[in-house]
Amino acid sequence: MDTKYIVWITFHYMNMPKNKFDNSYIDKRLKTGLMNKNILLPFLLSSTLLISMCACCIYSETNKLIITGSNTVLPIAQACADYFMDKNPDVDIQISGTGSSVGFVSIGEGNAHIALSSREAKKKEIEKYPSLTKYPVAYDGIAIILHPSNKINSLTIEQLRGIYNGTIRNWKVLGGEDRTIIVYSRDSASGTREFFKGYVMKNESFLQPLYEKNSHSAIRQAVSQTPAAIGYVGLGYLDKSIKVVSIINKYSNSTYPEDGVLPSRETIRNGSYPLSRGLYFYTMGNASALAKEYIEFVLSDIGQEIVEKEGFVKLFR
């Protein structure tokens, strides 16, 4: 049997709509005399199985780990992976920031070993992938950032919601300069945005136009270059290029300006900063041997020191 005919028929079988693959289709091809009908179907089954096995080979490698998901958790996962691979030179850990939602789909469909998430799995995700297994790895606070020239020092949750739902459009309303507010947000795949929409927005719709960015770094850069801008980023992304505002919390006994609370390791640990949340790894069912070893390292004393070095808050012991 000529190999080129084997490849041709297998390719067309695998890429053909199922309702078209019937006896009439086969008979038309067999009239060319290329192969015997008695060996066609067994051959197709074995060929398809072989191709499928080859496609899955990348995930059966015991020294390879594929991790994807939240851009917030990415620095933790990458820094820990660098240390882990340095101690285990034969291990290959590949990490990408695709957003929490994409991370769940990736492990659910078998395209990754670990999903990174800046939120807990949604009900619909758990229903679709019931064997999702959660591993808390750190804590984080969502910081509200402005351009350094902005005179606003604190905001209430209600004011923040008003800015993001469009009922407050000018900084002058809040005691700032007479400028239209430029609003930046994470994209729809972001777990940070999901948390923000639930806690701050109470699931109200965002205003339009809303300037969406696919990473914390991109939001930080945009706000740092736009005097009238506002945005939100994870604690680990703060630097001197932007201004962080305190969040007024009526339950706080803090001494921050105007009774506002700034995001910090201390205020996240003691629960006084209202925009605090957990960060997670997820696997499908029990983690593979390598994934388990890597997760245990992240949760170890050394791993949690790396969490703190990356600007996040280690787990409470």
Among candidate residues 189, 210, 223, the one with its CA nearest the CA of residue 96: 189
pLDDT band for 270, please (50, 70, 90 cuts). Answer: confident
Each residue's pLDDT tens digit, 161-199 = 999 999 999 999 999 999 999 999 999 989 999 999 999
Q: What mean pLDDT is reported for the chain?
A: 84
Mean pLDDT computed over 119-148: 97
Mean pLDDT computed over 139-148: 97
pLDDT at residue 121, as a whole number: 96
Say if 64-138+279-309 and 141-276 have the same CATH topology: yes
Fold observed for domain 141-276: D-Maltodextrin-Binding Protein; domain 2 (3.40.190)
DSSP 170: B
pLDDT band for 203, please (50, 70, 90 cuts). Answer: very high
d(C-alpha 224, C-alpha 216), whole Å: 12
Fold observed for domain 64-138+279-309: D-Maltodextrin-Binding Protein; domain 2 (3.40.190)
SS3 197: helix
pLDDT at residue 41, as a whole number: 45
Range of weakest confidence among 29-38, 86-95, 251-260: 29-38
Whether residue 279 has pLDDT greater than 60: yes
pLDDT at residue 61, as a whole number: 65
d(C-alpha 16, C-alpha 91), whole Å: 39
> Domain-by-domain residue ranges, the chain?
3-57, 64-138+279-309, 141-276
The dihedrals phi and psi of 217, each to the nearest 5 degrees, come to -60, -40
Percent of the chain with pLDDT over 70: 77
Range of weakest confidence among 1-10, 143-152, 276-285: 1-10
Whether residue 249 has pLDDT greater than 90: no
Mean pLDDT computed over 4-15: 40
HEC per residue, 255-306? CCHHHEECCCHHHHHCCCCCCEEEEEEEEECCCCHHHHHHHHHHHCHHHHHH
Q: Are 287 and 295 in contact (CB under 8 A)?
A: yes
Residue 75: what residue type?
P
Using a 10 angstrom Cβ sphere, with 0-12 exposed, 13-18 middle and 19 or more buried, the burial of residue 211 is middle
d(C-alpha 206, C-alpha 164), whole Å: 6
